[in-house]
Amino acid sequence: MVIYDSLIPEELLEEVRKEAEKIFAGRHAWKYDQRQDEINHLMVERALDGLTVVRLKGGDPLIFGRAGEEMEALWKAEVPFEVVPGITAASAGAAAAGIPLTHREWASAVTFITGHEAWWKQERSTRLREFVKAGETLVFYMPVKKLPEIVEELKEAGMESNTPCVLIHRAYTPSQRSVKGTLQDIVLLAEKVQMSPPALFIVGRVCRYADLFNWYERRPLFGIGVINTRARHQARDMTRLLKERGAYVFHFPVIEIKPIVDGKSVKETAKKIQAADYVVFTSRNGVHVFMEALFKAGMDARVFGRCQLVCIGSATAEALQVYSLRADVVPEKFVAEGVLEHLIHRGDIRTRKVLIIRAEKAREILPETLRSHGAHVEVIPVYRTVMPEEVKEKAKVLQEEVQNGGLHCVTFTSSSTVENFFRALGEDAAGEILGNLHIAVIGPVTRETIKGKGFKPDIEPENFTVEALVSAIESFYKGKRERIS
């Protein structure tokens, strides 16, 4: 069981086992979904029921994270627990904004202060005068609601109006926004951009570095929202590459891989492989599904002893290498036509035995053309693509994000992702969404599928790989980011 807060990234929750219960227990300064005593009771109750309970929080729960109250409740109930510390928001936010919280010339100490708890009402004047006199960096957590009051108190405590300060919204996330000013104008600047929680307020001379060192918001895709439609198990590589460039990634996995090969069929295929001249893998999904079934049936890579291995695309060839197999043929064109060019131009395809290991539904151009040139071809379907159940639930969230302007680009890496995108949302809704987004496709086959739906892709790489697709997205948005934001 996982009890999680509002700032937990979606991809982290996706690591939770499907059968585990997930309960949202987010709290905000202006509203709450569960009271703290209710959360404490839930943790204790489920733990005493024999469940392993994870209380998942953002940042460091020991700093303004109410971990103390929760540990106390567990201790009183004699429930054993352990604490895994995180990185507190002040450290992460300052790093993302390029602000050194301490500096030999400007600040020898840093103080973390809550912006809205009881302490603020009772002891603020005396303590703030001490902090201001010391000249140290001040970091206010949860400050938005009381920002005008905090600023006035700092001035009254003796801090100069021209003291630099920075307000950071959703620090170290793809939706981070920072506003730099002074105590004189920060409240007006915050109102101008409609700053909302969660946020940090950093005050002190070290904030002069924010303009110089704000590396996080200068990344090439910062502020760009990208929809990743790949299957869940495949989405990570693309998501990692996009996030490294600063993009916000919305996971909308419209396909799921379902193996359709079993022990009996894989043994029959193994016998055919031993008599084949060529074995063609059309995708890395086919490689992984078939090889896992092969190992499960008690066999291994030795079944490929005499045949030549052909792969459509470098990613498929790399998948083979996981099983200590090297592809003999990887055409320069990462499509079926590339395989045809290579095999047919060799001049020895007539009467050759070719096995094609692929998805249940795929283009027939490869087997049909090889047969027309005299090859003996057999197609071995080892998996099918289906639409995950969860995608229907996420469809409404996707539509809302597009309407709110948080998403700018959708990626399609196969014809299946295009078809299932329209199935998941419905033809009309999908068309309306695509009309408000830039469309990125991985290659010509996917391009033709989306064109068949009435849309022209904006982005297509020269090489048909995920890496090339992400680079093409980066090139497309170069110079466009300010206009989009």
Q: Please report, in tens digits, the pLDDT of each residue of the chain (485 residues total).
A: 999 988 888 778 878 888 899 999 875 444 444 688 999 999 999 999 999 999 999 889 999 888 999 999 999 999 999 999 889 999 999 999 999 999 988 888 999 998 875 444 556 667 788 888 888 899 999 999 999 999 999 999 899 999 999 999 988 887 888 999 999 999 999 999 999 998 999 999 999 999 889 899 899 999 899 999 999 888 889 999 999 999 999 999 999 999 999 888 999 999 999 999 999 999 989 999 999 999 999 999 999 988 989 898 888 999 999 999 999 888 876 566 777 777 766 666 788 899 999 999 888 888 888 888 888 999 999 999 898 888 888 898 899 989 988 899 999 999 999 999 999 999 999 999 999 999 999 988 899 999 999 999 999 998 888 999 999 999 999 866 554 54
Q: What is the dihedral of CA 296, 298, 303, 304, to 10 degrees?
A: 30
Distance from C-alpha of 37 to C-alpha of 15, rounded to nearest angstrom: 28
Largest Cα–Cα separation, the chain: 92
Distance from C-alpha of 45 to C-alpha of 74, rounded to nearest angstrom: 10
Residue 315: its pLDDT value, please? 86
Distance from C-alpha of 293 to C-alpha of 64, rounded to nearest angstrom: 50
> Do the first three CATH levels of 225-255+388-484 and 258-385 match, i.e. the same topology?
yes
Distance from C-alpha of 104 to C-alpha of 162, rounded to nearest angstrom: 21
Backbone angles phi, psi at 447, to 5 degrees: -60, -45
CATH (residue range 89-216)? 3.30.950.10
Residue 361: its pLDDT value, please? 87
What are the tens digits of pLDDT across the range 165-218? 999 998 888 788 899 999 999 999 999 999 999 899 999 999 999 988 989 989
23, containing H or E segment = strand 22-24
Distance from C-alpha of 313 to C-alpha of 66, rounded to nearest angstrom: 51
Strands 225-228, 409-412: pairing is: parallel
Q: Are 437 and 402 in contact (CB under 8 A)?
A: yes
Domain at 225-255+388-484, CATH class: alpha beta
Residue 125: its pLDDT value, please? 66
Q: Which residues have a Cβ under 8 Å from the Cβ of 317 and sit 6 or more positions away?
A: 311, 326, 327, 330
Domains of the chain, by residue range, sit at 2-76, 89-216, 225-255+388-484, 258-385
Q: What kind of fold does domain 2-76 have according to CATH?
A: Cobalt-precorrin-4 Transmethylase; domain 1 (3.40.1010)
Distance from C-alpha of 88 to C-alpha of 62, rounded to nearest angstrom: 9
Backbone angles phi, psi at 5, to 5 degrees: -100, 180
Peptide bond into 198 cis (omega under 30): yes
What are the tens digits of pLDDT across the range 234-278? 888 999 999 999 999 999 999 999 999 988 899 999 999 999 999
Distance from C-alpha of 169 to C-alpha of 177, rounded to nearest angstrom: 5
CATH architecture entry for 258-385: 3-Layer(aba) Sandwich (3.40)
Residue 123: its pLDDT value, please? 63
Residue 421: its pLDDT value, please? 95
The vertex-334 CA angle with 344 and 233, nearest 5°, equals: 135
Distance from C-alpha of 233 to C-alpha of 237, rounded to nearest angstrom: 9
Residue 65: its pLDDT value, please? 86
* Side-chain half-sphere exposure of 133, counting CA atoms within 13 A: 7
336, containing H or E segment = helix 336-345
Q: Are 412 and 418 in contact (CB under 8 A)?
A: yes
Distance from C-alpha of 337 to C-alpha of 335, rounded to nearest angstrom: 5
Quote the crossing angle between the two packed helices 365-372 and 336-345, to the nearest 10°.
20
The β-bridge partners of 329 are 310
